[in-house]
Amino acid sequence: MSPVHFIPVWDAAETVAGEGSTDAEIRSALLVLIGDMLNRGITIGDMSPRDGEGVIPWNLSREQALRKVAAETGKYEDSLDYVKICWFSAA
């Protein structure tokens, strides 16, 4: 399976949070969605700089990964920059 980057997950969190939700509410929904993905065996990590390598796992616990994502989202004002945070893979 091809790696998926953060932006579609942010879009999904916006949908889950509902129309007119604040960024804080969307971030909360985002962490729930990512937590559910991790519970189902999805790998979270960084995209390898080498062609064909896919996602390099963070090798963090679920809680550590969620804290890292939460901390990283606070560093960017524009959700389009979230692509710099992490990637996901089911492989």
pLDDT for position 29: 96
Per-residue CA distances from 56 to 9, 14, 63, 71, 78 (Å): 18, 26, 18, 19, 24
pLDDT at 77: 83
**pTM, two decimal places:** 0.85
pLDDT at 61: 97
Structure tokens at 63: 């809680």
3-class secondary structure, 26: helix
pLDDT of residue 71: 94
Q: What is the pLDDT of residue 6?
A: 60
pLDDT along the chain (91 residues), means of 10: 65 93 93 96 91 90 96 85 86 67
Compute how many other C-beta atoms are within 10 angstroms of the C-beta atom of residue 6: 23
